[in-house]
Structure 1
Amino acid sequence: MEIHAIFLALIQGFTEFLPVSSSAHLILPSVLLDWQDQGMAFDVAVHLGSLLAVVYYFRVEVNAMARAWFGSLRGGQRTAESQLAWGIVLATIPACVVGLLFGDAIALYLRSGWVIAATTVVFGLLLWWADKVAKQHRTEYEAGWRGALFLGCAQALALVPGTSRSGITMTAGLMLGFTREAAARYSFLMSIPIIFLAGSHQAGGLLGSASVMPWSAIGIGTMVSFVSALACIKLFLALLNRIGVLPFVIYRLVLGCVLVAVLSV
């Protein structure tokens, strides 16, 4: 149980913020190794670890945005931080609406290995195209409300398994003319409210459950996911401008082919 928990938490932590699709990676252990699902409590735990990692890494920005946002509610001066905060709020709405209206249908009809294989390849190629044609001159503070809504719609599309939330939002950011780093930073900041809301929704479902909580797996999952996600964010932002997105695109194409091969057996 602990070995499974560590391995799955590492996958979650490393792939949550890379443009490679965490769902595509999480399906492989169940198919190749016949591992059982760790359960909703473990899922909440690893997402909590990822959430804590991104909040910790961007703690200075999050603090400034929170102060500016609350200040704007009291009629204070509009600042770059308050506009960015309002943009993140706006960008969160589409995924919430789509998730509430179509979440059950997506889980029922689209959570298959073949869908994940297809979206892993298709949206990987879209990321490569966006990076190729992007002007890359804008920062995350220049999104505006239209850009925030566009990024939010892209995030909603990531509810389809295999799309990759970070991958599709980075793609959208590049389409808006963001630099690679700005697109990644906006994507990471967008993840904070959506991971929190999704985790809260799942945790709410656990409250009425009579099942026994696997506390050791929950603790391991949270800790390992936090450490691996934090390392991933630091390395990704440090290397992104140097290596670009092509290595991740190639990786997605290979992963999609591996999934097709595995599912065809």
Structure 2
Amino acid sequence: MTLLQAIILGVVEGLTEFLPVSSTGHQTIVAKMMGLTIDDPSITSFIAVIQVGAIAALIIYLRKDIIRLARAWFRGLFRAEHRADIDHRLAWLTIAGSVPIVLAGVLGRDLIKGPLRSLWVVAIGLIVWGIVMWIAEGVAKQTRAERDLTLRDVLIIGAAQALALIPGVSRSGATISAGLMLGYRRAEVTRLGFLLGIPALAGAAVLETPDALSGGVGWVPTLVGTVVSFVVAYFSVAWMLRFVARHTIRVFVWYRWALGVGLVVALSAGWLSAT
């Protein structure tokens, strides 16, 4: 992998990780267009590792929320009177909601790095989950707030996030859709989805780092891609949280459908190969 390819993939990661358009899908498409072998373990590992930049950007941007929840969680562990604190409860729910995608990522690692890397999967994921997102906005009541979150609800949202391991679905698209269908406010469930994504992104990066550094990519392109991802992701997170406070996510659906259909045409015409 050249440094230019690493920079491009870093930009793509930073731009798409927190938008409901599927970062993995976009990484797969762009890598294929640059002539990289998308089912090469070193390439898939590189894509997972540069998410560290996106994680760091997210943690820095949401640091006040993370510190608040962490303090409440620790206080509740050692002092019974703090266990009724809403933030202590939310901290536990955030941990619980992270479990489904962590389990799915570990158990389905070979599947994720193999058959699901097909561009046909990406195209179908973009189109089909776009339909889910459109329906979610249509039924959204947005009458429930973060304080109304229950274990059942957070596990449903976490399970939806696990579906984002399928390229083309999108973590934020999955969590926002599930939250809207459960009646939660768009902005609050978007922030919750971002928090739920931290353990998943970090876990994937830890698992894949050895392959990325020892394989055909190397540490220099990996470091460059990670830094670029961090810078771009920080602005992407900030923009997304402001956007969902005032707008629906249906604008992303139109983009997903256009890209998905375009991908189907390119694959059917033989302009791109699926793997």
TM-score by length of 2: 0.88
Counterpart contact for 2:73–2:91, Cα < 8 Å: yes
Matched, 1:23 2:24: yes
Describe the shift of the 1:140–1:71 C-alpha distance in structure 2 as closer, same or farther (beyond 3 A). Answer: same
Counterpart contact for 1:20–1:248, Cα < 8 Å: yes
Q: How many residues align?
A: 263
Counterpart contact for 1:99–1:159, Cα < 8 Å: yes
* DSSP-derived class of the 2:126 partner: helix
The aligned counterpart of 1:90 is: 96
Deviation of 1:27 (Å): 2.1
Q: How does 1:1-265 map to 2 (within 5 A)?
A: 1-36=2-37, 39=43, 42-76=46-80, 77-78=82-83, 79-203=85-209, 205-206=210-211, 210-211=214-215, 214-264=218-268, 265=270
Counterpart contact for 1:13–1:46, Cα < 8 Å: no
Counterpart contact for 1:138–1:182, Cα < 8 Å: no
The separation in 1 between residues aligned to 2:120 and 2:71, in whole angstroms, is 45
Deviation of 1:176 (Å): 1.4
* DSSP-derived class of the 1:242 partner: coil
* DSSP-derived class of the 1:167 partner: helix
- Can you list the C-alpha shifts for 1:112-165, whole angstroms capped at 9, x where unaligned? 111111111111111111111111022233211111111111111112221111
Deviation of 1:211 (Å): 4.4
Counterpart contact for 2:116–2:167, Cα < 8 Å: yes
Q: CA RMSD in A?
A: 2.0
Deviation of 1:23 (Å): 1.9
Give structure 2 stretches of 5+ with no counterpart: 271-275
* DSSP-derived class of the 1:162 partner: coil
* DSSP-derived class of the 2:169 partner: coil
The separation in 2 between residues aligned to 1:219 and 1:51, in whole angstroms, is 14
Describe the shift of the 1:142–1:44 C-alpha distance in structure 2 as closer, same or farther (beyond 3 A). Answer: same
Give structure 1 stretches of 5+ with no counterpart: none
Counterpart contact for 1:91–1:148, Cα < 8 Å: yes
Taking every aligned residue pair, what percent have the same amino acid on both sides?
Answer: 37
Counterpart contact for 2:29–2:119, Cα < 8 Å: no
Which AA in structure 2 matches 1:151?
I
The separation in 2 between residues aligned to 1:212 and 1:260, in whole angstroms, is 30
Deviation of 1:212 (Å): 7.3
Which AA in structure 2 matches 1:71?
R
Counterpart contact for 1:17–1:232, Cα < 8 Å: yes
- The farther-off stretch of 34-43 and 143-152 is 34-43
TM-score by length of 1: 0.92
- The farther-off stretch of 181-190 and 91-100 is 91-100
- Can you list the C-alpha shifts for 1:54-90, whole angstroms capped at 9, x where unaligned? 1000000000111111122224412221111111111
The separation in 2 between residues aligned to 1:83 and 1:42, in whole angstroms, is 36
